[in-house]
A and B are shown apart, each in its own frame.
Chain A
């Protein structure tokens, strides 16, 4: 089946550091990738939708300059948390789909646990 690889799976870094998370579709081309954030005991919250070759669409309340998304190829999207602070500590997870439309399945990565000291 379709596989999405997310890297790294776990990051601990100091406040003020920028952290890049990669999301790769391994055996399909992903025209659309989604980035989610999940706090403990809560459900996933969509941060942004990225479409290959165009700017990401951010959800209300998500700072575009804080969470930089790049989807330069059909198999790779990256999320960069710039100047991270402790409140950015969370579980970040991506998903990808290879065709347009809400009726198509999303394939999820294993997530990245980010801890900012």
Chain B
């Protein structure tokens, strides 16, 4: 079992739909990161959070430390949101290293 698991692996939505991507982890963490990888490969850091909820534009990230679970929500999805979304955790015992989930391929159709 991977230490960081994401679901779903693939997600197809229609423009305007509300999207949720889930991330569960099994280790103690210092922080959880949500990353967006574009088709060309470049990665953008969307959120880093260790508790509660953060919002940036149409993106919302939540984390429940007790349940070891985080969600990334996209409201009013748009085709330009199509990308791979990656959950990564900074483990308490591994210093600076991140452990990555396998990613969720999101496709938003017009």
Contact = CB atoms under 8 A, between A and B. Distances in A.
Contacts, number: 66
Given A107-B45, A110-B40, A111-B41, A102 B100 contact: no
Interface string A81-115: 00000000001010101001111111111110100
Q: How large is the interface on B (under 10, 10 to 19, 20 to 34, 35 or more residues)?
A: 20 to 34
Nearest to B45: A105
A44 B101 CA distance: 9
Given A49-B97, A93-B43, A111-B42, A102 B91 contact: yes
Contacts of A107: 45
A110 B31 contact: no
Given A106-B45, A111-B43, A44 B100 contact: yes
Interface residues of A, number: 25
A40 B71 CA distance: 25
Contacts of A32: 96
A46 interface: yes
A34 B96 contact: yes
Contacts of B101: 43
Contacts of A104: 96
B7 interface: no
B41 A113 contact: yes
B11 interface: no
Contacts of B31: 102-103
